[in-house]
Amino acid sequence: MGFSSFYRLFQRNRPAVGKERRINRRMTPSAGTTVLIVDDSKTVRRVMSSMLHQSGYRTLEAEDGARGIELAHNHKPNLIFMDVMMPGMDGFQATRKLQTDVDTQDIPVIIISGNQQATIQTWVRRIGASGFMAKPFQRGEFFQHLESAIY
């Protein structure tokens, strides 16, 4: 096997010029569309924020439920991604507060968790969240949840 054959093994399959890699087109957010990310993991917040910025969304970040509620009240984001397990106020408590408050009850909340048990998904529906997304997640899945909640 020559060097060029060996090199081709490690090249990414790139689409032909003018062809889109993505099968489903993403929605283009209107100016100012904002997503609040509430997660105690700085890494998760940064990854999600980076993906959102690349696609034209504004982001807000909170490290716990109490701060997430405060940001939701002050900025009225278009969507909230809410982790379940956080110090202090957990994601279920924060979501319940948001859903029972007249000022924030119309903001869709997607619960995110590494725990995919049926009990968590039952609680998601019971507290009025818009959906559930398991961690780790793929980029396409992330945007699919986002777009189904906002658009």
CA distance 2 to 7: 9
pLDDT computed for residue 16 by the predictor: 47
pLDDT band at 18; cut points 50, 70, 90:
very low
What pLDDT shows up at residue 23? 55
pLDDT tens digits for range 25-50: 667 888 889 999 999 999 999 999 99
Residue 69 and residue 97 in contact, taking contact as beta carbons nearer than 8 Å: yes
* pLDDT for position 14: 45
Mean pLDDT, range 52-70, rounded to an integer:
96
pLDDT at 12: 45
Q: For 84-103, what is the mean pLDDT?
A: 94
Which carries the bigger pLDDT value, residue 123 or residue 109?
109
Annotate the chain with three-state secondary structure.
CCHHHHHHCCCCCCCCCCCCCCCCCCCCCCCCCEEEEECCCHHHHHHHHHHHHHCCCEEEEECCHHHHHHHHHHHCCCEEEEECCCCCCCHHHHHHHHHHCCCCCCCCEEEEECCCCHHHHHHHHHCCCCEEEECCCCHHHHHHHHHHHHC
Q: Write down all domains in the chain, each with its CATH number in brackets.
A: 29-150 (3.40.50.2300)
What order do you get walking across the sheet with 34-38 strand by strand?
58-62, 34-38, 79-83, 109-113, 131-134
